[in-house]
Amino acid sequence: MSDINKVCVFASSSNFLDPVYYEDAKLLGELLGKSGFDIVYGGSTLGLMWSCAEQVKNYGGKIYGVMPQKLVDMGCCTDNCDEFHLTQGMRDRKDKMDKISDAVIALAGGFGTLEELSEMIVQKQLGYNKKPIVILNTDGFYDNLLRFFDTIISEKFANKLTANLFYVASNPYEAVDYIKNYTEPENVPSKHEIYSR
């Protein structure tokens, strides 16, 4: 296994999704835990976030929760974390999750998940990190977004190399295998690689 220990998972906090999404979240958590990975996540007891985190814990991994004070005050946090980090706001939360994790997996999610995923792709594009970024495309959830990514690249709003910054997994097995076998890029991207066609 690579030097990756803590995997940051971005995911929906909704409890009203189709069962297929929870099944994939639980399976991902099981595979991460069995593979010796810990999870960094939003610290919630809700939705796909908790479905995944709980299984990581059940299968031997540790849970690192990160949550802003406002959501704690709303009663969204869990006391099952091995380590819990309280932040002032959402931007601090993302920063903390980034700093303490070694890899990223985005499960199906809403606007918050999309924001988190987009920021991590840009961070990697500009050379601020070299982490593996995985999009878990459960039941084709991200198909339309991936087509939009293709449009961004084909219309030259982003370099074609941007497509190499993330990996699309069709199931949790592919997601975990990618992280296990990930090779970190050697060099920080050059100006030409970022801004050329």
Going by C-beta distance under 8 Å and a sequence separation of 6 or more, which residues neighbour residue 182? 2, 4, 103, 132
What is the CATH classification number for the domain harbouring 110?
3.40.50.450
pLDDT(112) > 90: yes
In a domain, 101, yes or no: yes
- For the beta sheet containing 167-169, the strands, ordered from the edge strand earlier in sequence to the opposite edge, are 83-87, 63-68, 38-41, 6-10, 103-106, 133-136, 167-169
In a domain, 93, yes or no: yes
Tens of pLDDT, residue by residue over 115-145, are: 999 999 999 999 999 999 999 999 999 999 9
State what percent of residues in the chain have pLDDT above 70: 99
pLDDT(147) > 70: yes
Range of the domain at 170: 6-195
In a domain, 24, yes or no: yes
In a domain, 1, yes or no: no
In a domain, 153, yes or no: yes
* pLDDT for residue 2: 65
In a domain, 139, yes or no: yes
How confident is residue 1, by pLDDT bands cut at 50, 70 and 90?
A: very low
Number of separate domains in the chain: 1
Tens of pLDDT, residue by residue over 56-107, are: 999 999 999 999 999 989 888 888 899 999 999 999 999 999 999 999 999 9
Find, among 90, 97, 88, the residue nearest to 111 by Cα: 90
In a domain, 14, yes or no: yes
In a domain, 148, yes or no: yes
